[in-house]
Amino acid sequence: MKFLTTALALLPALGSAHTIAQRVRVNGQDNGQGNGIRVAPSNNPITNVNDANIACNAGASSSSKVIDVKAGDKIGVMWGHVLGGPQFANDADNPIAKSHKGPTIFYLAQVPNAASASPSPSSSLKWFKVSEDGLDSSGNWGVDRMISAGGWVDFSLPACVAPGQYLLRAEIIALHSASKQGGAQFYMGCAQLNVSGSGTKTGSTVSFPGAYQANDAGILVSIYDQQGNPKGNGTPYKIPGPAVLTC
């Protein structure tokens, strides 16, 4: 009975221990809260791969800022438990609950105007993957590295990406409950970039929704070893979606 009470008391905390993408930095230079990124009002995940809002999240804010970057720059997106980061001092669930193991992923879609482009399914944006970080051989996940970095995930924008305006889709997939269909939690936010450089590539593309299936090997998966530790199930973890653009 005592155990049951304790378990029930824990449930709301677990249920809300989610995350929001909210800041962008370029070569370490922070653009500030909500500038050049569409920020979701809620930290709730999307759990249906066919959700119409799986490209850039539901009800996201707008920003008039389009961030200038050069192909080859290091671009980072910061995640936080709630808007602004921690919910209260010493929030153990900032930037995300430690249970929420999984990959961190970035996609780009070229658009005429990154400040106004709609990511709705009918806009038919074509996304290509530019970075991904899954499970390493020590049993640590992209999410573990994001937590160690205080919520930031940085990647190098491939030097061959063609100049133009893009939406950058930053994504985390939390897999702690992914052994049943519909259990994976998808978190995402879209930044607004103006890429300069002499590149020519825009990658091979997918749609959101469409890129993921509910039973993909990296979405319907147990991440626990025989001891119950979330360090992978003994086979390499396969990050969902297409291959990362290679230059």
Ligand X SMILES: *[C@@H]1O[C@H](CO)[C@@H](O)[C@H](O)[C@H]1NC(C)=O
Residue written as tokens 């049943």?
180
Residue nearest to ligand X (CB): 194
Phi and psi torsions of 85, nearest 5°: 115, -115
By rule CB under 5 A, what count of residues binds Cu ion?
1
- Site membership for ligand X, residue 22 (CB under 6 A): no
Mask for 11-50, x = binds Cu ion (CB under 5 A): -------x--------------------------------
**176 and 14 Cβ atoms separated by less than 8 Å:** no
- Site membership for Cu ion, residue 129 (CB under 5 A): no
Residue 145: how many other CB atoms lie within 10 Å: 15
- Site membership for ligand X, residue 194 (CB under 6 A): yes
- Site membership for ligand X, residue 198 (CB under 6 A): no
- Choosing among ligand X, Cu ion, none, which partner's interface includes residue 196 (Cβ < 5 to 8 Å by kind)? ligand X
- Choosing among ligand X, Cu ion, none, which partner's interface includes residue 225 (Cβ < 5 to 8 Å by kind)? none
Rule CB under 6 A: choose which of 29, 156, 196, 200 binds ligand X: 196
- Can you read off the two tokens belonging to residue 128? 């290509």
Task: In whole angstroms, give the CA distance from residue 135 to residue 74.
Answer: 21
- Site membership for ligand X, residue 200 (CB under 6 A): no
Query: Quick one: 68 or 225, whose CB is closer to ligand X?
Result: 68
Number of alpha helices (DSSP H) and beta strands (DSSP E) in the chain: 2, 10
Task: In whole angstroms, give the CA distance from residue 55 to residue 7.
Answer: 34
- Site membership for ligand X, residue 116 (CB under 6 A): no
- Site membership for ligand X, residue 29 (CB under 6 A): no
Q: Where is 107: in which H helix or E strand?
A: strand 104-111
- Site membership for ligand X, residue 204 (CB under 6 A): no
Three-class secondary structure of residue 25 per DSSP: strand
* Residues numbered 58-97 forming contacts with ligand X, rule: CB under 6 A: 66, 68
Give me the least distance between CB of 216 and ligand X, in Å please: 35
- Choosing among Cu ion, ligand X, none, which partner's interface includes residue 94 (Cβ < 5 to 8 Å by kind)? none
DSSP per-residue codes, 149-191: TTTEEEEEPPTTBPSEEEEEEEEEEE-TTTTSTT--EEEEEEE
- Site membership for Cu ion, residue 81 (CB under 5 A): no
